[in-house]
Amino acid sequence: MHPLVPPRRLGVVLAALFGLLLSLLFASPPSARAEAAATDYQAESATISQGAVATNHTGFTGTGFVDYTNITGSYVEFTADAAAAGQTTLTFRYANGTTADRPMNISVNGTVVASSVSFAPTANWDTWATRSVTVSLAAGANKVRATATTANGGPNLDRLTLGSAPVGTPGLAVAPYEYFGWGNPQSPTSVMSATGVKWFTLAFILSDGSCNPAWDGSRPLTGGDDQSKINSIRSAGGDVIVSFGGWSGAKLGEKCSSASSLAGAYQKVINAYGLKVIDIDIENTEWGNATVRQRVIDALKIVKANNSGLKTVITFGTTTSGPDSTGVDMINRGANSGLANDIWCIMPFDFGGGTTNMGTLTTQAMEGLKGRVKSAYGYSDTTAYAHIGLSSMNGKTDDSGELVRISDFQTMLVYAQQHHIARLTYWAVNRDRACGSGSDGDACSGVSQQPYDYLKVFAQYTG
């Protein structure tokens, strides 16, 4: 390349570049052009059936919002203009100050295109959230109707935004767990294509019987199928978090006799894959030993000091009100030892929940976690939320009678969006499908669903 362009040719070059820019712009597919500019439509200006314009709650935009009548079939209908035919995103801004979901059917030009879309509870009627669906629109005017499907009516509806695609893509905050050790695991690149996720949390690194890391305690770090799958994820534009521990198997925290040797075992895995994030899923015997818990804290301090920018996640069980005494001890040990842990993450399942309220119990447990992290580290509320996360379980859990529904995931999503928590994930991709004949419970959800229904909820979270 020549370092300088002769002056007499500069005008020609600039004209050519301008022409190229125009050609690239207008070569964009119609759907992409339709998404480029977002347009707001206020609910109070739409057609309202069995509802009323109200102003008795704060935080709305425009001149008011629509308060749906508590009846099945109440609706708000917008006339939304699309610049061109194709797929676009409809984003509804709403509030739901009750404890129950208020689902709605979304129709376009008289046809239901998304049925029983969840509008989960928000913190109160003054707290607004968003719910997005992707639909196909015709060029020009489109009738977009949001119709309540239960006797509770719809939520309070503030506005519809046309073409407001979610900012960014789901990143490491979502990173669902996938386990390659059993049960016909899905191709991670297929999961990426179906859901839009870019990151995975891969489980589990265990001890090979000594202070040496291996996948499931037996598969090699390099040269095997696990590395091949990691390579495929990265080739598709994604990345991975590697998780150490889990419930079963020999734990490195116990097999390594010192913090320095444990840090060395963590470092082998970090080096093998050039990791940016590691997750310590500390459970069972590793969790129950105070000496081991301190060893993990001290080892993480070492690897953070030796790996600039490395993020660490500590994942552990919880009660319905937040960390138990062992969890509180772990957080306090971290703070007292000077560990700048990036994410304290609870697993809000197998804790005696029910079949209809796991979303609410999860947010309750998260508030307990936030309080403990805030107190231990002296954080503000905002900073504490930015250092906590949750890892749920989809469908039937290990506790008889405990069920995490898709609507519960929606409740968790709204909570995450309101507080900007650091992690919103679940166990596991392997289970995010309906069970077939002879399916193991660890390879399916145990509920009626389409593939990745749960992940598609969390994939809406972008931090």
For residue 339, the SS3 value is coil
Report the candidate in 100, 92, 85, 87 with the shortest Cα–Cα distance to residue 147.
92
Q: What sign for the dihedral angle of Cα 112, 396, 329, 337?
A: negative
Three-state SS string over 176-224 comes to CEEECCCCCCCCHHHHHHHHCCCEEEEEEEEECCCCCEEECCCECCCCC
Give the model's pLDDT for residue 126.
Answer: 85
Distance CA 245, CA 216 (A): 9
Do 362 and 448 lie in one domain? The reply is: yes
Does residue 249 lie within any of the structural domains? yes
Do 229 and 92 lie in one domain? The reply is: no
Give the model's pLDDT for residue 442.
Answer: 84
Does residue 449 lie within any of the structural domains? yes
Residue 243 belongs to a domain with what CATH number? 3.20.20.80
Do 275 and 336 lie in one domain? The reply is: yes
Does residue 29 lie within any of the structural domains? no
Q: Give the pair of three-digit tokens for residue 199.
A: 């990151």
Give the model's pLDDT for residue 168.
Answer: 54
Do 141 and 205 lie in one domain? The reply is: no
Do 215 and 72 lie in one domain? The reply is: no
Do 234 and 354 lie in one domain? The reply is: yes
Written as one string, the DSSP assignment of 32-57 is HHHHHS-EEEEGGGSEEESEEEE--S
Do 203 and 54 lie in one domain? The reply is: no
Last residue of one domain, picked from the residues 162, 195, 214: 162
Q: What is the pTM of this model?
A: 0.74
Q: Rounded to the nearest 5°, which phi and psi values hold at 255? A: -80, -25
Task: Print pLDDT tens along the chain (463 aa).
Answer: 333 223 333 343 334 343 434 333 333 333 333 344 589 999 999 999 999 999 999 889 999 999 999 999 999 999 999 988 988 889 999 999 998 889 999 999 999 999 988 888 887 898 888 888 888 999 999 999 999 999 999 999 999 999 854 445 688 999 999 999 877 899 999 999 999 999 999 999 999 999 999 999 999 999 999 999 999 999 999 999 999 999 999 999 999 999 999 999 999 999 999 999 999 999 999 999 999 999 999 999 999 999 999 999 999 999 999 999 999 999 999 999 999 999 999 999 999 999 999 999 999 999 999 999 999 999 999 999 999 999 999 999 999 999 999 999 999 999 999 999 999 999 999 999 999 876 777 899 999 999 999 999 999 898 8
Residue 45 belongs to a domain with what CATH number? 2.60.120.260
Does residue 247 lie within any of the structural domains? yes
Do 217 and 333 lie in one domain? The reply is: yes
What residues does 214 pair with on adjacent strands? 206
Do 150 and 186 lie in one domain? The reply is: no
Amino acid at position 136, single letter = S
Last residue of one domain, picked from the residues 162, 190, 214: 162
Does residue 274 lie within any of the structural domains? yes
Give the model's pLDDT for residue 21.
Answer: 40
Query: 238 CB contacts (<8 Å, ≥6 apart)?
Result: 188, 192, 197, 198, 199, 200
Distance CA 98, CA 401 (A): 24
* Element at 358 (helix H, strand E): helix 358-377
Domain that holds residue 120: 36-162
How far CA 156 is from CA of 57, 68, 132, 220, in Å, comes to 10, 6, 16, 54
Does residue 170 lie within any of the structural domains? no
Do 236 and 208 lie in one domain? The reply is: yes
Give the model's pLDDT for residue 142.
Answer: 96
What is the domain count for the chain? Answer: 2
Q: Give the pair of three-digit tokens for residue 195.
A: 């859901």
Does residue 2 lie within any of the structural domains? no
Give the model's pLDDT for residue 438.
Answer: 67
Q: What sign for the dihedral angle of Cα 17, 19, 20, 22?
A: positive
Does residue 110 lie within any of the structural domains? yes
Do 231 and 85 lie in one domain? The reply is: no
Distance CA 324, CA 306 (A): 31
Active-site annotation, residues: 283
Q: Give the pair of three-digit tokens for residue 173.
A: 């905050």
